[in-house]
Structure 1
Amino acid sequence: MKIVVQVRLLPSDGQAAALAATLRVCNAAADRASTVAFERAVHSRNDLQKLVYGEMRESGLGAQAAVRAVKKVVDAYASLRASVRTGSLAGLRRVKAESKPIQFRENAAQPYDDRMLSWHYDARTVSIWTIAGRLKGVRFAGHADQVAMLVSHRQGESDLVLRDGKWLLIATCEVAEAEVTEPGDWIGVDRGIANLATTSDGLNFQGGRLGRYRRWHARKRAELQARRTKSATRRLRRRSRREHRHATHMNHAIAKKLVAVAQRTGRGIALEDLSGIRDRVRPRRDQRAALASWPFHQLGAFIEYKAKRAGVRVIAVDARFASQMCPGCGHTARSNRSSRDHFRCRACGLAGPADHVAGINVRNRARSVWALVNVPRPAA
């Protein structure tokens, strides 16, 4: 499985100027190549490289940098086609995206392979190609665990990124998945907004604090948007990334806790299948922004990849009526959930926190699905 490791690059002023100039030249060359690919409908990396390689070399790119820039363009168009094919890009957004060449920002990330970038882990430095020549001894900083991961598992390309005036190197590491153990039982996990995650064991991760934090950021964004200045736009971008990092940190912490409990108790993790939830659910007007921006998918993705590393099995089950069905008698009705927080079965009287009941239903469905999958088949 692939793990991304991000470290901070600490160039001197002169080195930073060379890196910035390199990003500008690389992305300008990628822009020109993108126009050629769009106008001639070229999707093959080899075919596009034949058309633009000479011009890229004349613009100041090294041979390997030109190859990486071509690959970046081809990958961008492949991602666009994949988004159209899966339906994530549709309607007017699809028409707009397909009507013009893909453009690359002046400071967009640039991929580097091992011919262009060398890591020296003991010295905490890198040697990196730029249009001004190769820079040697450029320092980087990272946690000891990150460096250990790079030493043991780094493979493939690394991306040079300039973000908020900070230089970053983002490397891909290939980590072997742990052997998945057969679960003795399941932990059902119900995801939501008021409670980010609630398990069938009753473990609850409340979302009130994150909700207040996001509402505070929304008010600040509205104030900055009203100013309509370049300074306000820069601050909006920084604030957006800060909010994203906070939500990401919380999801990491929740996923780590859930996987640790499952690993310790020899159980698997059952999640609701929430694909298409934004199309199925019709929230009130005041809830639309929260539902559209809530990181449900991210939490599920974090649980899945951490579970793979720990050898814990994850299964997705049908999410329909999970919070309206009684886990005791099976009676399903909207009236069973008298309020957002409370559940009371109209048939048998079973009562409890609504999200906990939903987590139990998710667990029970995982048990049923797993039992069907593992039914002994008679030998042919």
Structure 2
Amino acid sequence: MQTVVTAKLKLNTTPEQFKALRTTQLAYRDSLNYVSQYAFEHGKMSNAVRLQDATYEEIRLRFHLPSQMACSVPRQVGASYKTLWTKVKNNAVHRKEGKTKKRYKGLDKAPTFISPTLTYQYKKDYTFKKEQQVSILTLEGRVIVPYTGYNKHVALIQRGAEIGASKLWYDKPKKQFYLLVSLAIETADPTPETHKQVAGVDVGMRYLAVTATMQGDCTFHSGKQIVPKANHSARLRKRLQKKGTRSATRRLVAISGRERRLKQNTNHVVSKRIVLQHPQSLIGLEHLTDIRERTKRRKGKNAKQRKANRTFSKWSFAELHSMIAYKALLHRSMAIKVDANSTSQACPKCGHTCKENRPNKGLLFVCQNCQYTLHADLVGARNIAMRTLLIRQDWRGTGLLSVRAFCVGR
């Protein structure tokens, strides 16, 4: 089994190399917007082959991109349009079923690419050299740039790990280039004999994650200090955007990405702790598809309900799940997804399920049938662990891991 990780390499460029990379990035972004406009004007095309046939020569002449980059642009635009078409179709189904009244407007106008991040293909656009150097293609030819990065990732690159495509990312506040390289790592195939332990993970806002095992062990990962900081960054950004002055814009550039980095770092810390606490385990995660629609307050339009909807849609639970998934594979464990229906409303002792088991939707769980009392998030984690155990027993009996979905690493 292969696990894909992303190596973040810091490029130590000279002023001339910096200028060449920045010029190439901006030309790549302009070509993306040109192809996006062409696709929109010709029936909102998503076929990458047709887009390449129609726009390749113009990309080469107008933006002077090398041949491989000129091929990557239509593919990226085509993939973006396919994603938008999928959202349009899903929205039509949800409107028909009465789940939402809003019409998805992602294809009402041509998508605009703002980020100058560009994609490089390995051995075509970039290659690695000796002494921690990388050769990168620009509009003016190749440049050889020294790089630094996480020691384990650098070691994987130098020892011949399977290297895939990369992205050239520009950190605007720090004026620094990074190369984000995908690396495929071989991991052992999971079996019921190697994954004897079972753990369940319940995610939320008060506690970012609560874990439980079948032996009664539990761990709470609180968001009490982190979530207010993230909310403060969001409020500050909103006030500066509303002000709109030049000084406010400069401040926005300086703090850009702060909230995202805070959440990402927190998810990294929490996921690492969970994985290290449960080695060689089958880790159950909730299947959270359409979680925002299912938890949305639909009655009334007052400010309190809007604030509640906004709060519950802020934290990146999918990112936390993906981090647990790929780190689990690196530590000889595996994460799977289980049914998330009523995990915090079902009694783990007698099985009775009803909304009244959680009075006022609080942190206290009181079973209305057997009076079993426990922390509501811990109840959710235990129910997830039991559902994971059932999947493991079925896996051991049939030899097939019949789960709704696998958690795939980044």
Above 0.5 in TM-score? yes
- Give the aligned partner of residue 168 of structure 1: 178
Name the structure 2 match of 1:50: 53
The corresponding residue for 1:329 is: 350
What is the Cα deviation at residue 194 of structure 1?
A: 0.4
Match of 2:108 in 1: 99
Match of 2:380 in 1: 358
- Name the SS of the counterpart of 2:186 in structure 1: coil
CA distance in 1, matches of 2:290, 2:397: 30
Q: CA separation in 2, counterparts of 1:280 and 1:50?
A: 43
Distance 1:84 1:235, change over 3 A: farther
Q: Secondary structure at 1:171's aligned position in 2?
A: strand
Distance 1:36 1:322, change over 3 A: closer
Output the CA distance in 2 between the equivalents of 1:325 and 1:103: 45
Is 2:220 aligned against 1:217?
no
8 Å CA contact retained: 1:272, 1:318: yes
217-226 vs 355-364, greater mean Cα deviation: 217-226
Matched, 1:299 2:323: no
What is the deviation of 1:334?
Answer: 3.3
Q: What is the TM-score of this pair, normalised by structure 2?
A: 0.81
Q: Which whole-Å CA distance do the structure 1 matches of 2:66 and 2:345 have between them?
A: 62
CA distance in 2, matches of 1:258, 1:193: 17
- Does structure 1 residue 4 correspond to structure 2 residue 34? no
Please give the alpha-carbon distance, in whole angstroms, between the structure 2 residues aligned to 1:87 and 1:351.
40
> Could you tell me which residue of structure 1 aligns to residue 77 of structure 2?
73
Pair 1:181-2:197 in alignment: no
Contact 1:154 1:171 in 2 (8 A): no
Provide Cα deviations, 1:181-232, integer angstroms capped at 9, x if missing partner.
Answer: 3133421211111011111222110111112212322332243233212442
Distance 1:231 1:163, change over 3 A: farther
CA contact (8 A) 1:4 1:170 kept: yes
1:131 maps to what in 2? 139
Relative to structure 2, which stretch is displaced further, 208-217 or 227-236?
227-236
User: How big is each residue's C-alpha offset from its partner over 1:349-370, in whole Å with a ceiling of 9 and x where there is no partner?
Assistant: 3323222222112222222344
Give 3-state SS (helix, strand or coil) of 1:180's partner: coil
What is the alpha-carbon distance in structure 2 between the residues aligned to residue 179 and residue 205 of structure 1?
Answer: 30
What are the superposed Cα offsets for residues 83-109 of structure 1, whole Å, 9 maximum, x if unpaired?
4345499987743x323333333x521
Q: Structure 2: how far apart are the matches of 1:66 and 1:80?
A: 22
Question: Would the aligned equivalents of 2:59 and 2:70 in 1 still touch at CA under 8 Å?
Answer: yes
Distance between the aligned counterparts of 1:84 and 1:178, measured in 2? 39
Partner AA of 1:160 in structure 2: L
Show structure 2 runs of 5+ residues with no match: 96-100, 298-304, 400-410
How far does residue 373 in structure 1 lie from its aligned partner after superposition? 5.3
**How far, CA to CA, are the matches of 1:282 and 1:299 in structure 2?**
21
**Greater mean deviation of Cα atoms: 192-201 or 210-219:** 210-219
Q: 1:303 to 1:54 in 2, by over 3 A?
A: same
Could you tell which deviates more after superposition, 336-345 or 367-376?
Answer: 367-376
In the TM superposition, 1:75-90 aligns within 5 A as 75-87=79-91
Counterpart Cα distance in 2 of 1:157 and 1:356: 41
1:192 to 188, 195, 204: 204
Contact 2:117/2:169 (CA < 8 Å) preserved in 1? yes
Aligned partners of 1:197 and 1:204 also within 8 Å: yes
Secondary structure of 1:352's counterpart equals strand
The alignment's TM-score, normalised by the length of structure 1, stands at 0.86
**Structure 1 residues 150 and 234 mapped into 2: Cα distance closer, same or farther (>3 Å)?**
farther
Q: Equivalents in 1 of 2:322, 2:211: separation in Å?
A: 17
Unpaired runs of 5+ residues, structure 1, are none
Q: What's the % identity of the aligned pairs?
A: 29
Amino acid at match of 1:66: A
Look up the match of 2:270. Answer: 254
Instruction: Return the alpha-carbon distance in structure 2 between the equivalents of residues 286 and 52 of structure 1.
Output: 45
In structure 2, the CA distance between the partners of 1:35 and 1:276, relative to structure 1 (3 Å rule), is: closer
2:389 to 355, 359, 367: 367
CA contact (8 A) 1:177 1:309 kept: yes
Match of 1:148 among 135, 155, 176: 155
Alpha-carbon distance in 1 for matches of 2:389, 2:89: 34
Find the aligned partners of 1:186 and 1:242 in 2 and give their Cα distance.
35
Cα deviation digits, residues 291-337 of structure 1 (max 9, x gap): 01121111112112222333323332332332233222223343333
Which residue is equivalent to 1:39?
41
Task: Give runs of ≥4 in structure 1 deviating > 4 Å.
Answer: 85-93, 372-377
Cα 1:343–1:62 change in 2 (3 A) is closer
Cα distance in 2 for partners of 1:303, 1:98 equals 33
| Farther-moved stretch of structure 1 (59-68 vs 140-149) | 59-68
Secondary structure of 1:208's aligned partner: coil
Q: Provide, for residues 82-136 of structure 1, a one-character-per-residue CA deviation record: whole Å limited to 9, x for no partner.
A: 44345499987743x323333333x52121222222222x422222222223223
Root-mean-square deviation (Å): 2.8
User: What secondary structure sits across from 1:139 in the alignment?
Assistant: strand
Cα separation, 1, equivalents of 2:253 and 2:88: 27
Count residues in correspondence.
371
1:269 aligns with 2:322: no
Q: How far off its partner does 1:16 sit?
A: 1.2
AA aligned to 2:156 is M
